[in-house]
Amino acid sequence: MSRRIVALALGIVLAAAVPAVRAQDQDFKIVIHSDNPISSVGQKQLARCFMKEIGMWTTGDPVIPVDQLPESKVRAAFSKEVHGTSAAAIAELWQQRGAGGATPPAMLASDQEVLDFVRANPGAVGYVSAKTELGPGVKELTLTED
C-alpha cells in the first residue's frame, strides 16, 4: 500500500513538472504587460486569444493579440506549438474569416516591436524569440497544457 502512495505521489510530481520543462524547451516566449496579474495560460486558451475567440482577460482588460510576420521563424514555432498547424494555415483561416469581416491580429516585424507594443498596451499578448531579453514593462507568461 505504501509503495502505491509513493508511486502515485511521484506520478503527480512528474506530471506537474512536464509543462514547465516544455516551456523551457520552446523557441519562443509568450509576453504580456507587466501589470497583468496572469502568470500562466493554457495552450488552447492562448490559441483562442490569437484567433480572437476570447475577448477579455480576467482583469477586464481587452485581449489584444499581436503576431509576428508570417515568414518569421518565431511565428512558425508559435503556430506549430500553440495552434498545432503552420503559420500559412492560420493565415488562410484568417482569409476565410475576413470574408465575414473578421480581422486577424496586427503583425509586427520584430521581437522589439512586439515588446514595445505589449509595453504600451496593458491587454496585449505577443510572442518573441526565446533568447530575447524582455526588459521593464513586460513579463513572460508560462504556457501550460490544457
Domain boundaries, the chain: 27-144
β-pairing verdict for 64-68 and 106-108: parallel
Domain 27-144 bears CATH identifier 3.40.190.10: yes
Selection from 27, 36, 46 nearest residue 145 by Cα: 46
The cell for 36 is: 497583468
Predicted local confidence at residue 25, as pLDDT: 61
Q: Which helix (H) or strand (E) covers residue 33, if one does?
A: strand 28-33
Tell me the pTM.
0.81
Amino acid making up residue 59: T
Answer for the pair 57, 36: CB distance below 8 angstroms, yes or no.
yes
Q: 46-102, pLDDT tens digit by residue? A: 999 999 999 999 888 899 999 999 899 999 999 999 999 999 999 999 989 887 788
The cell for 28 is: 519562443
